[in-house]
């Protein structure tokens, strides 16, 4: 299934049904009087977060959603039928934005959460509604009220416990494939990952967490360079950032500073999230290089740095335990 995290759709609720002019005409009843019924209500348009979806691909080609018009009234004071609602099923974590793409209308961050996008028009009154002591035979009936229509944006922000960040070729996809059942594309060139990937990491029979991998970041990602600005939003909801640094490069400190700068420039609270630093690709370094680069990173960051290799699995259990403990601690607050 292809991944799509943004879509523009048009929604229109149903118009209300028309009221009617009718008079009761039965044998032996001389003055039957008005009995025109009211129109039915037009259908609403809703958006609802459902389980089992992780992409907006359904809205790439089907972009117009219109509810039906309410039924017209009828004689014998019969009200027109109410039209069925239209419900847009979206993944959990979908935000609804106005056409300006800035005004947030709703954030569907839990299963079953729903929002009314367009309210159906009410039905018009039939002539029976206007009957009074001074107007015994009204010939007035109102048309139904029009429904609402608008263009909206659907924007998906994946919900995960931890998010993988780092430069291209930092080994994020290899790490995700090693610790979960996810099957990301892995190759020895930058930007192998073109869209976010989710994987469920199971530590034991009772502990698990969701890990998200986004495309690699480069300098200027927060301003639109590369693919970062499009996908950084997916780690906004993560409790913990798992920052992988390529240990095979000569200056891991510069790589760490570049990513930290992009997180701060992007905003959205990313720079304030708890971060676990991992010097990855331990298998590609000599013992002397491992020691010197690890110490250099710890001096620059002022925090403990873990050493691991997604390819061989060395140090990976310790990394996963640190992520699980930190994510659980954040969730309990």
Q: Binding residue per annotation — 282? A: yes
pLDDT for 179 equals 84
Residues 44, 149: one domain?
yes
Residue-level pLDDT at 189: 40
Please tell me whether residues 152 and 171 are part of one structural domain. no
Q: Answer yes or no: is 109 a known binding residue.
A: no
Residue 301 labelled as part of a binding site? no
Q: Do the annotations mark residue 58 as ligand-binding?
A: no
Domain that holds residue 72: 1-156
Of 173, 244, 177, 238, which is closest to residue 209 (Cα–Cα)? 238
User: Does 172 count as an annotated binding residue?
Assistant: yes
Low-confidence stretches of the chain (pLDDT beneath 50): 1, 184-193, 221-226, 331-333
Same domain for 257 and 178, yes or no, is: yes
309 is in an annotated binding site: yes
- What CATH number is associated with residue 71? 2.70.210.12
Q: Is the domain of 189 the same as that of 130?
A: no
- Residue 222, pLDDT score: 46
d(CA 145, CA 142): 9
Consult the annotation and say whether 146 binds a ligand: no
40 annotated as a binding-site residue: no
CA distances for 132 relative to 18, 66, 73, 127, angstroms: 21, 38, 20, 11
pLDDT of 153 reads 95
pLDDT for 331: 46
- Is 310 known as a binding-site position? yes
Residue 191 annotated as part of some ligand binding site = yes
Residues 44 and 97 occupy one common structural domain = yes
- Specify whether 7 is located in the same domain as 121: yes
281 annotated as ligand-binding: yes
Do residue 50 and residue 146 come from a single domain? Answer: yes
**Predicted pLDDT of residue 181:** 67
- Same domain as 169, residue 121: no
**Which among 104, 124, 156 is the end of a domain?**
156
Q: What CATH number did the domain enclosing 245 receive? A: 3.40.50.300
Report whether 194 belongs to an annotated binding site. yes
Residues 180 and 322 in one domain: yes
Tell me: is residue 166 an annotated ligand-binding position. Answer: yes
Confirm whether residue 180 is marked as ligand binding.
Answer: no
Looking at residue 71, its pLDDT comes to 96
Q: What is the pTM of this model?
A: 0.72
Does residue 199 share a domain with residue 142?
Answer: no
Judge contact between 18 and 39, C-beta under 8 A: yes
pLDDT confidence of residue 187: 44
Count Cβ neighbours within 10 Å for each residue of 157-178 and write b for 16 or more, e otherwise.
bbbbbbbbbbbbbbbbbbbbbb
Answer yes or no: is 193 a known binding residue: yes
pLDDT at 204: 81
pLDDT at 333: 41
Question: Are residues 190 and 46 part of one domain?
Answer: no
Give the number of domains in the chain.
2
Is residue 112 annotated as involved in ligand binding?
A: no
Task: Find out whether 214 is annotated in a ligand binding site.
Answer: yes
- Which of 156, 184, 217 delimits the end of a domain? 156
**Domain boundary residue among 126, 141, 156?**
156
Q: Looking at the structure, do residues 120 and 264 belong to the same domain, yes or no?
A: no
Residue 280 labelled as part of a binding site: yes
């Amino acid at each position: 299934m292809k991944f799509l995290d943004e879509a523009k759709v048009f929604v229109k609720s149903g118009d209300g049904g028309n009221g009617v002019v009718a008079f009761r005409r039965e044998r032996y009843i001389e003055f039957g009087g008005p009995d025109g019924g009211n129109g039915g209500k037009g259908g609403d348009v809703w958006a609802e977060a459902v389980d089992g979806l992780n992409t907006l691909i359904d809205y790439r080609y089907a972009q117009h959603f219109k509810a039906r018009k309410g039924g017209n009234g009828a004689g014998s004071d019969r009200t027109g039928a109410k039209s069925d609602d239209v419900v847009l099923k979206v993944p959990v974590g979908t935000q609804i934005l106005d056409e300006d793409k800035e005004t947030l209308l709703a954030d569907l961050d839990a299963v079953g959460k729903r929002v009314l996008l367009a309210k159906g028009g009410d039905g018009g009154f039939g002539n029976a509604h206007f009957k009074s002591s001074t107007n015994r035979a009204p010939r007035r009936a109102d048309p139904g009220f029009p429904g609402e229509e608008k263009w909206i944006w659907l924007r998906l922000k994946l919900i995960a416990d931890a998010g993988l960040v780092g430069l291209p070729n930092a080994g994020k996809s290899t790490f995700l494939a090693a610790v979960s059942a996810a099957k990301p594309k892995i190759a020895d060139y930058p930007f192998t990952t073109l869209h976010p990937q989710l994987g469920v990491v199971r530590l034991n029979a009772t502990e698990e967490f969701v890990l998200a991998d986004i495309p690699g970041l480069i300098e200027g990602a927060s301003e639109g360079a590369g693919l970062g600005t499009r996908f950084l939003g997916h780690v906004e909801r993560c409790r913990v950032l798992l920052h992988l640094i390529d240990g095979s490069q000569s200056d891991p400190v510069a790589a760490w500073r570049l990513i930290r700068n992009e997180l701060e420039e992007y905003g959205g609270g990313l720079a304030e999230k708890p971060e676990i630093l991992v010097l990855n690709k331990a298998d590609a370094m000599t013992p002397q290089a491992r020691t010197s680069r690890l110490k250099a990173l710890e001096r620059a960051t002022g925090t403990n740095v873990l050493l691991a290799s997604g390819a061989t699995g060395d140090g990976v259990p310790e990394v996963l335990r640190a992520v699980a403990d930190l994510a659980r601690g954040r969730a309990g607050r």
